[in-house]
Chains A and B, each alone.
Chain A
Amino acid sequence: MNAWLLAAAALLVGTIGPAIAVALHGPSHRRLVGADLAGTGMPVVFLLLAQGYSRTSYQDLALILAVLAPAGTLVFTRFLAGERG
């Protein structure tokens, strides 16, 4: 119905889907690429959902995720880089 919700569905299929597919194969540092792409795409999806449902308060989710996702990815890179010794 709504162009914003349509864009959110397109992003779910076209960006989050491949990110999940990448995150399910290979060694852990290759899976990290999928997790990072999901961490970039998911806040955008949350923003589009907030606009599509016309609930402005849903934008807080995107704000929290935009802060938390890079922090989580940095923790992952730190641990995985030092894992081999």
Chain B
Amino acid sequence: MTDTLIVLALLAVAACATGAVLTPDPARQAVVLSVLGLSLALLFTVLQAPDVALSQLGVGTAVTPLLILLTVRKVRRSPRRGGDQEPGA
């Protein structure tokens, strides 16, 4: 039963990570990255490392997507590249 859970968590991490790599637009990638953080926390918990999972939860679900979204907003509003078409539209 424990091995089944480990395999399921590994599959979730593999799917999320592959999807995050294959997503070109950063705004969409931020959503995938937050789900990837959740999956990694699950993997660490299943492998009996809850303290690592705790730090992964803090960093992966809150801080990383927030930083990416702030950067995306800043870049899109900058005047030099402001005329670019939005890939996320």
Listed in ascending order, the chain A residues whose CB lies under 8 Å from chain B are 1-2, 5-6, 8-9, 12-13, 16-17, 19-20, 23-24, 27-28, 31-32, 34-35, 38-39, 42, 45-46, 49, 53, 55, 57-58, 60-61, 64-65, 68-69, 71-72, 75-76, 79-80, 83-84
Contacts and interface: CB of A to CB of B under 8 A. Distances in A.
Given A12-B5, A12-B12, A46-B45, A38 B38 contact: yes
B62 A72 contact: yes
B79 to A, nearest CB: 14
B62 A68 contact: yes
B38 A42 contact: yes
Nearest to A13: B8
Contacts, number: 122
A68 B58 contact: yes
A71 B57 CA distance: 13
A12 B46 CA distance: 12
B76 to A, nearest CB: 8
B24 interface: no
Nearest to B56: A61
B50 to A, nearest CB: 5
